[in-house]
Amino acid sequence: MTKNKKIKLNISQRISDHLIQGCLIFLSVFFAFWLSEYRESKKDSETLDISIQYIASEMTYNHHRIESIFKYHSDLLREIDSLRQQSDSNWMELEGSDLTNWKGLQTPLLRSAAYQTYLNSNLIDNVEFEWAKSLTRVYYAQSITERLDNSFIEYVITDSESLTSLPRLRNLIRIYLSTLPEVMMEYQRAKKEWLNKYGYDIDIENDELRNEVNRRMRNY
């Protein structure tokens, strides 16, 4: 009887030992997976931060570019309209080179490489929905000027005759002056919502552009 009890105790102890070892193995494997997942998640988070910083830097460059082109085109439009109002003006026969402020044909040529890199990565799954929606608005608005740039370049290649005649130039300038504030409005909205902490934290310096952006924001 005593011998049977000892056998049962030994079996119970072995079972307990196996259960404990099994639990330890399970916990070790679980912890290893958790640690790997944690490190991967942390790495993705750090990579995402860097990616957004690149986007903020890209938008900072574009911001300055928009302001520069907007001012240049505004000055040209004012000069053209001043010529139009002169009764003895032959403005329709003039070229851009006849303008005082003429510095050649200039388009925004905004950058989007950082955003495209972000889209092509798997980082997009880790971005908060509102942030992703904000970036989509920004670069969708920007894509309008990019398509306009491409159309303009194609036009230059296929039909360069009288390209800088003031009537044609005036129409082109007015299109850019109507689209650039829309892009800047989305830039400023994104800055206010979250991008300011990633490096895009500049305000609009040009009074005319700032007033137009503010007007559109009020009516948004």
Tokens of 129: 């929905």
In the three-class reduction of DSSP (H, G, I as helix; E, B as strand; rest coil), residue 130 is classed as helix
How confident is the model over 96-106, as a mean pLDDT?
90
pLDDT tens for each residue of 46-80: 778 888 899 999 999 999 999 999 999 999 999 99
Task: For residue 85, report the phi and psi dihedrals to the nearest 5 degrees.
Answer: -80, -10
Q: Are 198 and 118 in contact (CB under 8 A)?
A: no
Tokens of 154: 């194609």
Confidence band (pLDDT; 50, 70, 90) for 216?
very high
Q: Are 115 and 141 in contact (CB under 8 A)?
A: no
Between 7 and 99, the more confident residue is 99
In whole angstroms, what is the distance from residue 53 CA to residue 208 CA?
A: 29
- 170 pLDDT exceeds 90? yes
Q: Where are the domains of the chain?
A: 43-218
pLDDT tens for each residue of 151-167: 877 776 666 556 688 99
Task: For residue 165, report the phi and psi dihedrals to the nearest 5 degrees.
Answer: -60, 145
Is the pTM here over 0.75, yes or no? yes
pLDDT tens for each residue of 15-45: 565 566 656 555 555 544 544 454 455 555 6
In whole angstroms, what is the distance from residue 167 CA to residue 96 CA?
A: 10
CA-CA-CA-CA torsion sign (6, 10, 16, 19): negative
Q: Which pLDDT score, from 0 to 100, does residue 173 have?
A: 93
- 87 pLDDT exceeds 80? no
Q: Torsion-angle region of residue 83: left (phi > 0), alpha (psi -120 to 50) or beta?
A: alpha
> How many other β-carbons are positioned within 10 Å of the β-carbon of residue 126?
14
Q: Which pLDDT score, from 0 to 100, does residue 22 have?
A: 58
CA atoms within 13 A on the CB side of 44: 13
In whole angstroms, what is the distance from residue 54 CA to residue 152 CA?
A: 28
CA atoms within 13 A on the CB side of 125: 4
Q: Which pLDDT score, from 0 to 100, does residue 12 have?
A: 58
Q: Which pLDDT score, from 0 to 100, does residue 179 have?
A: 96
Residue-averaged pLDDT of the chain: 82
Confidence band (pLDDT; 50, 70, 90) for 143?
very high
In whole angstroms, what is the distance from residue 21 CA to residue 193 CA?
A: 52
pLDDT tens for each residue of 173-200: 999 999 999 999 999 999 988 899 999 9
Q: Which pLDDT score, from 0 to 100, does residue 51 have?
A: 87
In whole angstroms, what is the distance from residue 180 CA to residue 161 CA?
A: 26
DSSP H helical ranges for 124-206: 129-158, 166-193
